[in-house]
Amino acid sequence: MSGTTLGLRGRTAPPGTRALGTEVDPQVERIVRTPEFQQLVHERTRFAWTLTILMLVVYFGFIGLIAFDKSLLAVKVGGTASLGLFAGVFVILFAFALTGVYVARANTRFDALSAALKRSVAR
């Protein structure tokens, strides 16, 4: 489902909204108003924001350590590697893990909600 083109540098309005002087497809209106669609959008948005906040906390926590406690990150771990190296690798691996968590949720819960939406619209 694509949005309605607003004509301002290719930006689009969300599906189901109206740009000035345009008509919205009645089928899009019907889909947007279904409880299944509302639930899908709500759950997906809430989950995405949760993962975003987690990533920001980890990232800015790492940046905060760099800014305010360089000596902690300079501590040698395992001979030659510093704690900062492991912390940096953790940030990268954490981002990959969050991506995996999102994909797992998308392939289970969000796909199930999408299937329920398709069934309700087909009626």
**pLDDT, tens digit only, all 123 positions of the chain:** 445 544 445 555 566 565 666 788 888 898 999 999 999 999 999 999 999 999 999 999 999 999 999 999 999 998 889 999 999 999 999 999 999 999 999 999 999 999 999 998 887
Q: What is the reported pTM?
A: 0.74
**Per 3-state DSSP, what percentage of the chain is helix, strand, and coil (rounded to 5)?**
70, 5, 25
For the segment 87-113, what is each residue's pLDDT rounded down to a tens digit? Answer: 999 999 999 999 999 999 999 999 999
Q: Are 14 and 32 in contact (CB under 8 A)?
A: no
Q: Are 117 and 43 in contact (CB under 8 A)?
A: no
For residue 121, give the H/E element and its range: helix 111-122
Strands (E), 1-123: 4-5, 12-13, 76-77, 81-82
